[in-house]
């Protein structure tokens, strides 16, 4: 696995409160990381314009919006997001929403990712929310539906990546958040694995936020994760 290939598989989550910090993270990681995730926190603090800036600089952007709405609203949102030039976009893996998004993104390079079960949720959380399935079963069911609707990839826990890979085959992206290098705190994540285990399980992309962004030396933290990925 080449260094360039590795860099394109590590996505650093810019889960920070403002653009000043996000810009500092990107500057510090220049030459090491080229792929960044922008979610709700930064999106509502100027992050969408920052996403356009990153794209213009040749960086890849994973826009983590987890869209879910009526078909027309999802479709119109996806159409505009595709025009931004971002690489990946998430939506919740509801079949109607996925079908609308796939049709809206047709002919563009935008990779649509189906969010299966949030990595902050375990079986008791799903029961409380009214689901009849345990996390593993629900993840696989949604992976099958995402494949059938023509989505570009799946977001799931790395603990489920191997099983998901068997469902979706070798071509779809399997993007795994909740990655925690050995010896780091889990925070609010409940279904976590190490970078090496995620790669071995079949993850195509790893999303890492706090272990890099909150590190004293962000550059060294990212390089350590890349080294662990290479060793796997």
| 83 catalytically annotated | no
**Residue 37 annotated as binding?**
yes
CA 70 from centre of chain? 23
Residue position matching structure tokens 């390079």: 109
Query: What CATH number does residue 135 fall under?
Result: 3.20.20.70
The dihedral through the CA atoms of 88, 98, 91, 206 has a sign that is: negative
Instruction: Name the average pLDDT for the chain.
Output: 92
Element (H, E) at 19: helix 19-28
Cα 176 to Cα 189: distance, rounded to the nearest angstrom: 12
Active-site residue identified among 18, 30, 59, 64: 64
pLDDT of 170 over the 50 cut: yes
Helix, strand, coil percentages (3-state) for the chain, rounded to 5, are: 50, 15, 35
pTM score of the predicted model: 0.91
What are the tens digits of pLDDT across the range 93-111?
Answer: 999 999 999 999 999 999 9
Task: Give the per-residue pLDDT at 186.
Answer: 47
Structural domain count, the chain = 1
pLDDT of residue 185: 57
Residue 69 is among the residues annotated as catalytic for this protein:
yes
| pLDDT at residue 202 is higher than 60 | yes
66, 83, 134, 166: the active-site residue:
66
With a cut of 80, say whether residue 1 has pLDDT above it: no
- Among 59, 20, 22, 56, which residue's Cα sits nearest to residue 39? 22
- Tokens 């929310």 -> residue: 129
Question: Which domain, by its residues, includes 185?
Answer: 3-231
- State the burial class of residue 187 (Cβ atoms within 10 Å of its Cβ: 0-12, 13-18, 19+): middle
pLDDT band of 18, cuts 50, 70, 90 = very high
Strand partners, 11: 207
Question: Tens digits of per-residue pLDDT, 22-64?
Answer: 999 999 999 999 999 999 999 999 999 999 999 999 999 999 9
4 marked ligand binding residue: no
């Amino acid at each position: 696995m080449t260094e360039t290939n590795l860099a394109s598989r590590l996505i650093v989550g810019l889960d920070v409160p403002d653009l000043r910090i996000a810009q500092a993270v990107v500057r510090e990681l220049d030459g090491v990381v080229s792929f960044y995730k922008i979610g709700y926190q930064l999106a509502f603090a100027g992050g969408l314009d920052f996403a356009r800036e990153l794209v213009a600089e040749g960086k890849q952007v994973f826009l983590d919006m987890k869209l879910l709405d009526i078909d027309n609203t999802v479709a119109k949102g996806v159409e505009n997001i595709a025009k931004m030039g971002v690489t990946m976009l998430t939506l919740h893996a509801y079949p109607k929403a996925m079908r609308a998004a796939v049709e809206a993104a047709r002919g563009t390079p935008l990779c649509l990712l189906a969010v299966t079960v949030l990595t902050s949720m375990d079986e008791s959380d799903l029961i409380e929310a009214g689901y009849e399935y345990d996390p593993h079963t629900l993840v696989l069911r949604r992976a099958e539906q995402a494949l059938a609707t023509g989505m570009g990839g799946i977001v799931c826990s790395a603990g489920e990546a191997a099983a998901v890979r068997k469902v979706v085959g070798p071509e779809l992206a399997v993007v795994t958040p909740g990655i925690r290098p050995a010896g780091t705190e889990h925070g609010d994540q409940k279904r976590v694995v190490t970078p090496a285990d995620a790669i071995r399980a079949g993850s195509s992309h790893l999303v890492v936020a706090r272990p890099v962004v909150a590190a004293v030396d962000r550059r060294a933290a990212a390089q350590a994760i890349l080294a662990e990925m290479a060793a796997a």
